[in-house]
Structure 1
Amino acid sequence: MHLVPADRAGHRTIDGHRVCEAIAAIGDTARVRAWADRFALLADPGRLSLLLALHTTGPLAVTDLAVAAGMRDPAVSQALRLLRAAGVVAGERDGRVVRYRLTDPAVAEVLEHGVLGRPE
């Protein structure tokens, strides 16, 4: 059981080789945390609706996203603020209008294959 961290080395295991395989599969805890944070963003139906709209149609303004998702403009703005802070979306100004687009390819892939169910 060479992969077991020192703080867990004294714990009893049933299948030690599988424990090492499981530890290897889990990998870097920072990577796991980053993915958990991404999934937390997707866990909200409003944010997920916005991301699906942006993924499918491309850049959209807040008011258009609000109509498409059945949300109010302030709720869309707040959701986009969170998504922008997480690096999942970005806004591009065109005069007075800001159009948002999906920028995270990993989230796009999850939407494409996990939510929309489209094959590769």
Structure 2
Amino acid sequence: MHLVPAERADHRIIDADRVCDAIAVLADGAGVRTWSERFALLGDPTRLALLVCIHRVGPISVSDLAVATGLKDTAVSQALRLLRNAGAVAAGREGRVVRYRLLDAALGPLLDQVAPAVATTHRHG
């Protein structure tokens, strides 16, 4: 019970080893917050659709994303601004065209898991 904080030492504990293991897993509170924020980004259908498109096709412009998703350019731009501020995507200029790419590499594997389900739902839904 060496990891149990003093203010919780008087709580009822069933399995002290499991409690210590669980506390050790959560030791990095910043990591929990970071992943919670990532999942919050994925929790919005518009942002999720944009992230899946960006991840799967690579750098893509706002207008192309709007056509692909059926959203208005302004809605895409607003969502991309939030994703950019969160560090999920980055913008790169190619002449007069700004294209977005996935910046947060940790999102890639999650989007790989989601993309087939999104494609199936989009085709049949």
TM-score normalised to structure 2 length: 0.87
- Partner Cα distance (1:64, 1:79) in 2: 14
Task: Give the percent of matched residue pairs that are identical in Structure 1 and Structure 2.
Answer: 62
Comparing 95-104 and 47-56, the one that deviates more: 95-104
Aligned residues: 116
The residue correspondences of 1:12-91 to structure 2 (distance < 5 A) are 12-91=12-91
Secondary structure of 2:76's match?
helix
Instruction: Give the SS at the match of 1:100.
Output: strand
* Shift >6 Å, 4+ stretches: none
Matched, 1:106 2:86: no
Distance 1:70 1:22 in 2: 44
The CA deviation string for residues 35-90 of structure 1, in whole angstroms up to 9 with x for no partner, is 00000001001100000001110011001001111211111111101110111100
Structure 1 equivalent of residue 114 of structure 2: 115
Q: Distance in 1 between matches of 2:10 and 2:62?
A: 54
Equivalent residue for 1:11?
11
Distance 1:5 1:28 in 2: 15
Deviates more, 1:78-87 or 1:17-26: 17-26
In structure 2, list runs of 5 or more residues that go unmatched. Answer: 117-125
